């Protein structure tokens, strides 16, 4: 392997990239766009759930109960209805996600110490929002119910006015439970996968398609020199993207970075080398840009987005899929990123993940080298 030849290929590739400023601009703007979207706009947190109320009781007791909902920041009362059809219409059109029905005998039952039932109808289409909204409603109803029971005990002559059990929740690592603290670190892995998919997967296929591969074959260059030379420029772009992402996370979104920064960049470099080799491998195997594009989508973007634990926790997946995630390198990288960012742990705990990441990079680089044949077919 001659460094001179590697340098020549790298220079050629750099010129290719610079000559197409739009693609380069997009390669740098894409991570920013994703970070801004995930940091500002996208959240799985649920509040101000639109609610319609059908108050059949119409008493001060029922109004007090309903005020617990309208006063909470989790619900916002959109309208009061007085017929079933109106309620149905509100949910069908999506104007409301939740409907609360307070029955006619509500006040009487509460006051006479009998059990009163309240109905809650939820639009279950979005199961996540529905589950969380139901949880909020349950909590409000339970608190109200406990107050009613406490009042009865007091009336019956008991002295207890305190709740028997007090739940003290404490959240570690992401104290405010902000979804951006959870998403932004993992996003770095996704961004790098996308860059690898978009940029490298086309680079060898393009040479084949345009016929310039023939010219390369006639030169004395070796396979590994070509691959290495082609990887260097994209590696630089990828690391630049990581830097941008880390800086934006730090200064724009104030994501706590508790662990070691050099470790973060070292791990990123290892992961990037692996994904770029994967992109290169796809490019070498497919030889057509259209096919490479499609393969890159399925092999890099989708798994790193869905199977890495970036947004959807791996423990909640079915067992066979959990096994599959073990061969997805992004999984280890996402674990590393979250560990370094939120928990501030180092290699003593993350060593295993880091080792597997290195193995992945070496395997991918070897595969790309093996598959590349300097021959016309």
Site for another protein in 113-132 (CB under 8 A): 113-132
Q: Does 227 bind another protein (CB under 8 A)?
A: no
Q: Which of 7, 12, 343, 371 binds another protein (CB under 8 A)?
A: 343
Tell me which H or E stretch contains 102. Answer: strand 98-102
Residue closer to another protein by CB (options 85, 93) is 93
Closest to another protein by CB, 90 vs 365, is 90
Residue nearer to another protein on the CB measure, 65 or 235: 65
> Dihedral sign, CA of 73, 76, 82, 84?
negative
Dig out the tokens for 250 from the structure: 């730090």
- Quickly list H helices, 288-328: 289-296, 302-306, 319-325
Tell me the C-alpha distance between 365 and 276, whole Å: 9
* Interacting span for another protein (CB under 8 A) from 199-207, 225-233, 236-244, 275-283: 199-207
- For another protein, the closer CB: 21 or 220: 21
Side-chain-side CA neighbours of 362 within 13 Å: the count stands at 6
Per rule CB under 8 A, count of chain residues that contact another protein: 125
| Sign of the alpha-carbon dihedral angle for 312, 317, 320, 323 | positive
- From 312, 326, 366, 373, residue interacting with another protein (rule: CB under 8 A): 312
User: Segment 16-35, which members bind another protein (CB under 8 A)?
Assistant: 20, 22-23, 26-27, 29-30, 33-34
Cβ 125 to another protein shortest distance, Å: 5
How many other C-beta atoms are found inside a 10 Å radius of the C-beta of residue 239?
Answer: 15
Cβ(141)–Cβ(110) under 8 Å? no
Closer to another protein at the Cβ: 82 or 322? 322
Q: Which of 138, 212, 215, 366 binds another protein (CB under 8 A)?
A: 138
List 315, 375, 376, 377, residue binding another protein (CB under 8 A): 315
Of residues 59-118, those binding another protein (CB under 8 A): 65, 91-94, 109-110, 112-118
Q: What is the largest CA-CA distance in the chain?
A: 100
Which of 231, 240, 241, 242 is CA-nearest to residue 264?
Answer: 242
According to CB under 8 A, which residues from 277 to 296 bind another protein? 286, 288-291, 293-295
Six-digit token string for 224: 């590994």
Nearer to another protein (CB atom), residue 265 or residue 301: 301
């Amino acid at each position: 392997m001659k460094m001179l030849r590697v340098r020549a290929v790298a220079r050629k590739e750099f010129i290719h990239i610079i000559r197409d400023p739009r693609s380069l601009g997009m390669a740098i703007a894409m991570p920013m766009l994703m970070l801004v979207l995930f940091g500002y706009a996208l959240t799985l947190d649920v509040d101000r759930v639109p609610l319609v109320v059908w108050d059949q009781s119409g008493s001060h007791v029922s109004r007090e109960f309903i005020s617990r909902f309208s006063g909470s920041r989790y619900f916002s009362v959109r309208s009061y209805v007085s017929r079933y059809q109106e309620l149905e219409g509100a949910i069908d059109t999506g104007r409301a996600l939740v409907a609360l029905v307070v029955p006619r005998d509500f006040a009487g039952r509460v006051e006479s110490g009998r059990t009163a039932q309240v109905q809650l109808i939820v639009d279950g289409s979005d199961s996540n929002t529905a589950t969380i909204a139901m949880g909020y409603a349950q909590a409000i109803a339970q608190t109200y119910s406990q107050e009613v029971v406490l009042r009865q005990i007091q009336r019956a002559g008991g002295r207890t006015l305190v709740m028997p059990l007090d739940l003290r929740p404490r959240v570690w690592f992401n104290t405010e439970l902000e979804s951006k603290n959870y998403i932004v670190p993992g996003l770095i892995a996704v961004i790098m996968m996308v860059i690898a998919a978009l940029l490298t997967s086309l680079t060898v296929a393009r040479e084949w398609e345009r016929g310039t591969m023939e010219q390369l074959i006639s030169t004395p260059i070796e396979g590994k020199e070509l691959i290495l030379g082609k990887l260097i420029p994209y590696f630089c772009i990828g690391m630049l993207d990581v830097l941008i992402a880390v800086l934006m996370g730090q200064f724009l979104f104030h994501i706590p970075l508790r662990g070691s920064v050099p470790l973060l960049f070292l791990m990123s470099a290892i992961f990037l080398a692996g994904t770029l080799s994967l992109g290169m491998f796809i490019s070498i195997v497919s030889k057509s840009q259209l096919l490479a594009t499609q393969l890159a989508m399925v092999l890099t973007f989708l798994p790193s987005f869905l199977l890495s634990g970036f947004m959807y926790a791996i423990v909640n997946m079915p067992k066979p899929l959990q096994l599959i995630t073990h061969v997805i390198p992004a999984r280890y990288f996402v674990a590393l990123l979250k560990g370094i960012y939120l928990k501030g742990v180092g290699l003593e705990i993350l060593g295993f993940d880091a080792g597997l990441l290195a193995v992945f990079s070496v395997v991918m680089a070897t595969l790309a080298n093996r598959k590349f044949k300097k021959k016309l077919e």
